[in-house]
Structure 1
Amino acid sequence: MKQTKMISTRSSFLIRLMLVLLLALSLFAFAACQKDKQDSNVETPDDPSAHEHVFGEWVTTENPSCTVAGVKERICTVEGCGKKETASVDPLGHDTVHHAAQAATCIAVGWNAYDTCSRCDYTTYEEIAALGHDLVHHAAQVATCIAVGWNAYDTCSRCEYTTYEEIAKLGHEYEDHYCVRCDQLDPTYYTDGLIFELSMEDTYSVIGYNGAATDVVIPVTYRNNPVTLIRCGAFEQKGLTTILIPEGVTRVESKAFSYCPSLTSLNIPKSLTIIEESAFQRCNGLTSINVAGNNPKFHSAGNCLIETERKTLVLGCRNSVIPADDSVEKIGSYAFSGCSNLTSITIPGNVTIIGRGAFQDSGLISIIFSDGVVEFKEGAFAGCSNLTSIVFPKSVGMIENGAFYNCNRLTMVYYCGLISDNFGGNSSGNVFPYATRYYYSETEPTSDDDWWHYVDGAPTVWPREHAWGDWTTTTQPTCTEPGEKTRACTSCNATEWDEVPALGHKITHKSAAGPTCTKDGNVECWYCSACEKYFEDENGETKTTWDAVKINALGHDLVHHAAQAVSCTAIGWDAYDTCSRCDYTTYEEIAALGHDLVHHDAQAVTCTEYGWDAYDTCSRCDYTTYEKIAALGHNYNENNVCTRCNQLDPTYYTEGLSFTLLQDDTYSVKEYNGDATDVTIPSVYQNKAVTEIGVQAFFYLSNLTSVVIPDSVTSIQENAFTGCSGLTSITIPDSVTAIGGAAFNACSGLTSIYIPAGVTQIGIVAFTGCSGLTSISVAENNPEFHSAGNCLIHTASETLIAGCNNSVIPDDGSVTMIADNVFASCSGLTSFSIPEGVSFISFAVFCGCSNLSSIVIPDSVETIAGNAFEGCNNLTAVYYGGSASDWDGISIADYNNGCLTGATRYYYSETEPVSAGNWWHYVNGKPTVW
């Protein structure tokens, strides 16, 4: 806002003082002027002091401020007067600008509403200090595998201030299928042998199991889709001991886990809301049933699986305790079926219906029904063969036929009501075929019907005239003590007892006997075979014990013998013991193994290597029938050839050869000056190996027809056989590692070349000018070179370095460059195709191919070097794989390529062209002009 500068208090005082002085002077002058007018009798208008002032307009000389007055003056306009007078100008007062209040924050100052002046620095502004943060502390939260965490932090209750820093969730780290941090099972892990089926909803069902494991894990997902269903009979009779049903499974069909008696515990996840009838039938080993607390359909209590809304107990086990809290009103069908370990159960009063087959074939011996049970469905307790008696409450209304079928021992049925209550009157058929029904009477009845009452808390039949059954011995008599026998009344179950007389002793004499290693001895005594007691006299009057008359067996005095390993020819034994007193032994002989023969074929003896007849060895011992036959040694004839192995004498060589001693103390063939056409190079000269054929050793010896190179040679130097046009074949031994440049240049008589595995260096134009070549091959295990289509290729650089009349460059991408002079002077070439991928055609590649009439050049070629087609005078057709503009982009050397540029050029078109020009395509693999 704009404010003017205030005048200081001191300056204001001086200005006022000056104004007062000026005013006093003016009054003094005015008084003097009046006095002059009075004293003078003659007016003198020209006297400036003698006139009435005529003042002009007021002019502000000092502007007023908001709080301090200003000064104005005016001057008399009479000529020559110049009289001035001054006056004050009222202060302006403040031009206020109102400013709204600003609340203070935690980190910024505030203020109440205030005013300022637009002309000066007047203000009512008062600053309110920043409040500072009102901190609320928050405890740390540890990050888990699936949830983020944070360190302890503060926030402000008034603003968004926070020191919160999120710690990323850790993610699971599985080891042996369980997370090492949270112990969660890997949701994709499952037991081998599970069989899955994909549904139309892209979810999987478990439809069977053929694995060997009894602890089975079902995965949450399978092949990235959820597992939601366990099909009918999937694990029926599979001997499971544990089963993990994962979150995500929503349905278990009927009999899915039936007849798994070793299954001891069952955990139902939140997602499982449909369990069909008999899904876990006859899993009689179950002791624990639990349901996830947030399952919307089921809950568990007292090791019972309960369908919450329908208040139906759908599955129980031998440890089940049925809740008495009104959460169960019905025992569902087959809920305890086959629980052979369930011997007793209490049915609370809130249960009104026992469902079909609910306790079928269980091991129940006793049942307690509270008053409230109304209805028993078909087969509810069928097959409970251990039941002998049941007390039914008065509430029972309906017992369906077969509810207690095959309860063969159920002979006593106690009803808490009267005959008039019509117990079981709504039932169909005879539901208790083997039992007598008794009706309750607190006092002794007067009628002759079947009545019962409680005696010491046990159901007891009121007696009628006893009809005693047969005596049964309950306590067997001994030699000296009588026994007991009882019989029961068949009408009321009353019993009576009587004594069974003592049997008397049956004593035999037992002579004294000394102990052996294994058998106890004894002193003389007498023994009763009836009561198995011992006596010191024959009358059985003085008792003793076996321990008293027994002399303990001596036990073996063992001698330990070390083991003896069995061999091929000798028996053996494990370590064993014998007794020094008897013939006890743990010795068991192990028969000799016999030889495990390995047959070896005969090896014929040679001049340099020993041999042997066919022989056998044993894989277990050093047995052998091997006999060494000494090497024969060479028998050289007058032709220096061994008569037995046909090997040339390594020291023999053709006359005319000369040698040079190398620095490594081996010899090099320097040259040949003889007349022979068949030359043999020795492997040894003057007792030193011949390892090299020197530079130009056989240079242009056109009469030479054959050369034997020994396997001592490792290097064939530059131009070694250049111009040997009479050579028709050459065998390069496996020992050779290097072939120099032009080594076989212009050997026009050669028809085939084989490069062995050891050759790792081949110089330039080594086989150029071999116009008779039709075959080029390389050993398969050569690390540097390979052959394909009668082409010699340097593998790593993808360079074709030698070709022949029958060469076909492979189109598999293994050749991208053609080296200098590769096909030079191959007069047998008439047509040729360069495959796609070759980008460079080197110097003089087809130089002198006088019969070449057509060539296919791919559009991958970028450069054609000089002399590439020099002397190809019959070249008339060039089939180019690209367009005319592509051809113009190839860099073609100017010199000696006239045969190429002068031939008719055709451009490739897959379909019949619509424009005029030279076009071609393939027909049956051959270039054909459209």
Structure 2
Amino acid sequence: MKRKLFLFFLALAATLCIAFALPACVSSEKSNAPFIGSDGLEYTISDDGTYCIVSGMGTNFQTDIIIPSICNNLPVKEIGDEAFQSYSLTSISIPNSITLIGDRAFRYCDSITSITIPDSITFIGESAFFLCSALTSVHITDIAAWCKIKFEDESSNPLYYANDLYLNGKLVSELKIPDSVRSIGNLAFINSSSITSIIIPDSVTSIGNSAFSGCTALIGLTIPDSVISIGNGAFSRCSSLASIPIPNSLTFIGDGAFTGCSALTSITIPDTITHINNSVFFGCFSLTDIVISDSVTSIGNHAFTNCSSLTNVTIPNSITHIGDYAFETSGLTSVIIPDSITSIGDYTFASCISLTNVTIPDSVTSIGDYAFGSCTSLTKVNIGDNVTYIGDQAFLGCSALTSLTIPDSVTSIGEYTFSSCTSLTIVDIGDNVTCIGDLAFVYCSTLKSIIIPKSVTRISESAFADCNSLESVYFTGTAKDWNNIDIGLNNTYLTEATIYYYSESQPTEEGDYWHYVDGVPTVW
């Protein structure tokens, strides 16, 4: 009996131990749950249990916050995601123990005017300082450490709003990158409007994306031969920078690297560069001279868009591709397209209002949409014999163009292709065109005569609308062929013009006929 009682109580004790042990396990699993520190701030413990993360304001309702370096005998290493988001902080002290500032950590803290970033920080998350619009200064103690910080986006760098960078209490105007720096990080000095000059040492091999974007007071720049890469937007919006010494070591210039450098007057692309990337010189209004080396094989989209002072550029034969919008709204007066080019992209030379003449070589097979649209000074264009495609609106608004020959290689004319060419008087359409698109010649108000081949089977709606000067249509086929053409609505000026039918010899029957005399259409 005693033995049975002993076993009963032993089993009961074991059961109670297990029952009381369960809550301890649960508590252990929740060891990283938020807790309030002695300073009233909210913290969590890292997953590995080795450090603390500031996760919120907790019960601390002060506007001046001091983050401790130690909490619960653990180092405080991170400021968590959204930790101080939308709080009316006026100042915050970040200890040297902090290595990371999380996503949106100070977003909408629009009362902070100044912040000190310790050397220990290596990462600042997405939108960490988004709309911290009252920031006027950022304080650091080590340029090399600052260059190594990984900023997730523009508003993760407090300089994006603050503009003024202070090194050991002194406003940085002449920035000297230390010899210990190998790479200048993305967004490192974005919008640092106090910087007037930058000296980059031989130790640096790369300049990150948007590293100096928006340094609007920058006038002096030294880039050593050690640099092989300049990132996307690296010097964009440096609106006071008149010259940029591009070293011969450089092999890569990123998209938009010099976008908006509105004071830049000249540039030389070294032999080490093979591609001029997208938007590299977009909006360089003062750029008058550029030398493109024979090593370059392509010019990217928007590469020279809005370079309104660029009147001349030599495109070397090494280039095989010119991107969309590449020279849109530039100041070009003439352009020679090399035989190496096979296509002209959409809007490539659009709105080049000073461009007077252009020759498209036989190597080109396609002309993109609006490629020469609104080139209002263009009086002459020679289209190569191998062009098979002319895009919609390709020559729309070329109001100075007086005559036009479309080669036999072209099979169709797109929508609005030559619309609003208000000085155009004669058009010769090649022998293989089958379709003239909608509104192709609309508003060509001075067009008097046009040669239409018998290959045409469709003249689309409004193709010749408002061509109120049209008198003569020289058709290369017979009256029967003409009557078989499907002519769309609103082409009254075309159908009411005199239609002349081609005849090699003088016809014996009555009617309206024509032939060529020295290449000129002449009525029999």
Instruction: State the TM-score bracket (shorter-chain normalisation).
Output: 0.3 to 0.5
Task: Decide which structure has greater strand share.
Answer: 1
Considering Cα pairs closer than 8 Å and 6+ residues apart, tell me whether 1 or 2 has the greater RCO. Answer: 2
Give the TM-score normalised by structure 2: 0.39
Give the TM-score normalised by structure 1: 0.24
Task: Decide which structure has greater helix share.
Answer: 2
